[in-house]
Structure 1
């Protein structure tokens, strides 16, 4: 587990470094001609090479304070398939500390959750002439969760699959980098499932990411 955490941290650091480097490197920028930058072509109309269609980044997710307390990171690699379609993959790590509420007044120990997972997603800019940079967003996230009872030391392992649908608004900073605000609905959320309640909190998932 420790090696996986280090690996995810290295991916996040690498992605962030590349993403910030893209802030000043935008060879497709056509703003000087009063036009929007092209995402898959050069200004002369030639297809961009594979490497120039890639977007690297990530974000902080599962951020909650109180009970539960939760924080996570999610590195992302995305590919600009067409001018309007973006496909991507990402990793996920989240730490959660949660204390269930007892109806009987009995003392309930804290539990620690370590979530490791991956996701695939698609974003489609569906009404660019009316609301540019607004995307339909669909993804599937699969997670493995290790749960530890802080009092007894007992552990358990679970898995969750979450199909998510919603919208992303992307504010471009360069041709291959933007700030993204995402609101998704978890179609597989079960409020009676303790692990899902601790990890997601509700069927609504809000994310802020950079890629």
Structure 2
């Protein structure tokens, strides 16, 4: 290999390294300029890699204490599709228990999956406020604690509402969500026992 070929090879290698560095440059650098970081691109306008747009986390929901007792957890994976749109999938587990003497002792175990979308619709007026819509498909195991009889039912719940997100970093925040269950009065009546109200309040971190 001649000296010219070696020089061209080194230049090409350095160029590739610089390009990679630009692609993965942290958008948080914009904070030094007094601006919010980009969510989908680097400071020089290059698109962020897929992995840097992912957001992982989860939360708690369905919390009721006393009789009935209810508590749920919801792991989630989100993707920053655009500067204002987040889409994602998640899982749901919710435990609900009704006790005597006011109710027939019954235990509900809800296992579900959900898909959601969040859109920041008025960032210039109320930044970090998102329209939130999702569909949750659940299998619910119902057990009569007195007879030990159990059965399973399926319920699909479309939910719409708002999420306020308080960013902690570019890919992580604290989210308070209020959703309305459009299928609260499902024919089987199961949603009323699981959720207790058509209004679903959720605290999540992602």
Q: With the length of structure 1 as denominator, give the TM-score of the two structures.
A: 0.82
Q: Does 1:189 align with 2:174?
A: no
Deviation at 1:41, TM superposition (A): 0.4
Secondary structure of 1:120's partner? strand
- Residues 163, 178 of structure 2: 8 Å contact kept: yes
User: Partner of 1:35: helix, strand, or coil?
Assistant: coil
Take 2:100 and 2:196, find their aligned partners in 1: how far apart are those partners? 12
The structure having more radius of gyration, on CA atoms, is 2
- Correspondence list, 1:29-178, <5 A: 29=28, 30-99=30-99, 108-178=103-173
Q: Where does the alignment leave 5 or more consecutive residues of structure 1 unmatched?
A: 1-25, 103-107
> Unpaired segments of 5 or more residues in structure 2?
1-24
The change in CA–CA distance for 1:192 and 1:143 in structure 2 (over 3 A counts) is closer
Count of aligned pairs between the two proteins: 181
Question: What is the deviation of 1:31?
Answer: 1.3
CA contact (8 A) 1:68 1:99 kept: yes
CA distance in 1, matches of 2:186, 2:100: 13
Q: Deviations over 1:146-204 (max 9, x none)?
A: 01111110101111110001000000000000000000111111188542111010110
Higher relative contact order (CA closer than 8 Å, sequence separation 6+):
1
Q: Are residues 1:207 and 2:202 paired?
A: yes
Which secondary structure does the structure 2 equivalent of 1:117 belong to? Answer: strand
How far residue 72 of structure 1 moved from its aligned partner, in angstroms, is 1.1
Q: What does the per-residue CA deviation read over 1:59-107, in whole Å, with 9 as the maximum and x for residues that have no partner?
A: 01111101210111100000000000000000001111024887xxxxx
Taking structure 2 as the reference length, what is the TM-score of the superposition?
0.84
Instruction: Please provide the CA RMSD for this pair.
Output: 1.7
Instruction: Say if 1:88 and 1:121, in contact at 8 Å, map to a contact too.
Output: yes
Determine the C-alpha separation between the residues in 2 that align with 1:190 and 1:160: 11
Q: Which runs of 4+ in 1 moved over 6 A?
A: none
